[in-house]
């Protein structure tokens, strides 16, 4: 699994720019970054997938905390996580190819959401692997366009991700040996 981080940030103008600028400045290459609203209107949530294994998630976390608007960062790499990516794929299709595409879509639990005289749009949500699988099968038929949202991630049940530097943001409830609250 590629290094994947979930960041909760304040829902304010320019925060996405701050995060993107930080990654560029520190030379962190990202595979995808998804930003969206959450259950709390004041908080946005980012799912950040780093490009390769060489990038130290701890380093990314520590740098994110330099941004005043970043509230919490968890590293969910290799944790029990639901990961989803959504893709829209426009495939060239003569009327007699439609059933073949429809069959493939069914196998992958994808949907055909638009039909035009010479193309169809397939919508698929799932893990990266699953989407890659369908893409490979559709490619010989002829992919005209594709768009993907990038991954979103949510930890299963009560599991938590890793916070690499406890206390990095001062609010991680670190206790001393005698139980005294240190932060």
Q: How far is the CB of 41 from other proteins (least distance, A)?
A: 13
Q: With binding defined as CB under 8 A, does residue 183 bind other proteins?
A: yes
Find, among 122, 69, 74, the residue nearest to 98 by Cα.
122
Q: How far is the CB of 70 from other proteins (least distance, A)?
A: 5
Please, which residues have CB within 8 angstroms of residue 68's CB and are 6 or more apart in sequence?
none
Residue 13 or 117: which CB sits closer to other proteins? 13
Q: With binding defined as CB under 8 A, does residue 168 bind other proteins?
A: yes
Side-chain-side CA neighbours of residue 65 (13 Å): 18
Q: With binding defined as CB under 8 A, does residue 53 bind other proteins?
A: no
Quote the strand ranges of the chain, DSSP E: 4-10, 30-37, 43-50, 70-75, 81-92, 111-116, 119-126, 143-148, 152-155
Buried b (16+ CB within 10 A) or exposed e, 19-38: beebbeeeebebbbbbbeee
Residue 63 or 102: which CB sits closer to other proteins? 63
Q: How far is the CB of 93 from other proteins (least distance, A)?
A: 43
Residue 67 or 112: which CB sits closer to other proteins? 67
Instruction: List contacts with other proteins (CB under 8 A).
Output: 9-10, 14, 17-18, 21-22, 25, 56, 58-59, 61-63, 65-72, 165-171, 174, 176-177, 182-183
């Amino acid at each position: 699994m590629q290094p994947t981080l979930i960041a909760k940030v304040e829902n304010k103008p320019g925060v996405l720019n701050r995060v993107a600028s930080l990654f560029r400045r520190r030379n962190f290459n990202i595979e995808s970054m998804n930003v969206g609203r959450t259950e709390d209107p004041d908080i946005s949530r980012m799912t950040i997938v780093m490009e390769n294994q060489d990038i130290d998630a701890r380093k990314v976390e520590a740098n994110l905390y330099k941004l005043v608007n970043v509230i919490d960062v968890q590293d969910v790499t290799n944790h029990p996580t639901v990961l989803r990516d959504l893709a829209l794929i426009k495939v060239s299709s003569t009327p007699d190819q439609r059933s073949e595409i429809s069959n493939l879509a069914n196998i992958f639990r994808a949907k055909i959401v638009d039909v035009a005289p010479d193309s169809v749009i397939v919508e698929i949500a799932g893990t990266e692997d699953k989407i890659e699988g369908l893409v490979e099968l559709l490619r010989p038929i002829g992919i005209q366009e594709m768009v993907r949202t990038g991954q979103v991630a949510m930890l299963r049940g009560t599991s938590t991700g890793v916070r690499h530097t406890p206390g990095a943001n001062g609010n991680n409830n670190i206790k001393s040996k005698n139980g005294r609250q240190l932060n």
